[in-house]
Structure 1
Amino acid sequence: MKAEGSERLKVVQGDITTLTVDAIVNAANSSLLGGGGVDGAIHRAAGPELLAECRTLGGCATGDAKISRGYRLPARHVIHTVGPVWRGGAAGEAELLASCYRRSLELAAAAGIATVAFPCISTGVYGYPPEPACAIAVDTCRSFLGEHALPREVIFVCFGRRDYELYRAALVQGEGAPDRLRGE
């Protein structure tokens, strides 16, 4: 995997379930009991123990996050967050998506986690357009890291080349994605 980005923000193209980091973030559904896409891949790689622990967490609201052990993953922890379903942009989706990143980082900092890897939250079956989702992810993480010592490093893990290039461009700019990516 090739990494690009600033000192504390990086982007790689690859499979999030293979990263050796303190925590990976799961783009989960509200039940936290597994699903498709990244969620299913994380549950399969972690093994049945992850599902057993998730059953004790009581689900998760959209925009919030919960933490579990990583079990069979190289990552020691999984931070589960529930992104918003895209409904056209006027239903508070941007605020909920930003909250996913912020709450995940808050949990990571509280647990003493130094390295955390994020997938592209809500851009799969939840339909969030990749460009504004990227801008929100980069800007929210950059803002959080500017005010907190932990985590020391945030890695955006993009499965596809298009998302990788989008995040790489946003990080190279230094101040997040351009306004056109936010839909402004």
Structure 2
Amino acid sequence: MDTMTLWHVTGWEFAALALAALLVGFSKTAVSGANTVSLAVFAAVLPARASTGVLLPVLIAGDVLAVLTYRRHAHWPTLWRLFPAVAAGVVVGTVFLMWADDRIVRTSIGAILLVMAGVTVWRRRTADAEAEPEPVTSRAGRLKARSYGVMGGFTTMVANAGGPVMSMYLLS
């Protein structure tokens, strides 16, 4: 197994990684788009497959602090309803990472970030025209929850970018 070392990282690249890690903290608070920039920086400086693993402990630490802070405000039935679909997405993402080389993962991360940015812009432009959301108990609502769950699990596993997908679902 090929292990990654950080000896090849220059001072400027290390500073970019440090700034990107700081942006992860901002993304867990009020600046939700900051995580997209940090994902792109990590994938640009480090090998793409390794960047997801290096960034993961930073994201987990932020998630643990967020859960400890906001656990009383969470709607747990909604989150538990998403869990099976998210778990399936994580499994699909794991299989993809086992198969894909660094070039494919780098391209996938870029594509995921571009799609997330496009969907965010589209949703903001159509926010006023949208109808009432489907209840989760309806067939369309369940399909929507499963789709977002699988996408969230896959994007979390491949690019550490499941946050925007889950935000889109929860805000819809």
Common fold by TM > 0.5: no
Larger radius of gyration: 2
TM-score, length basis structure 2: 0.30
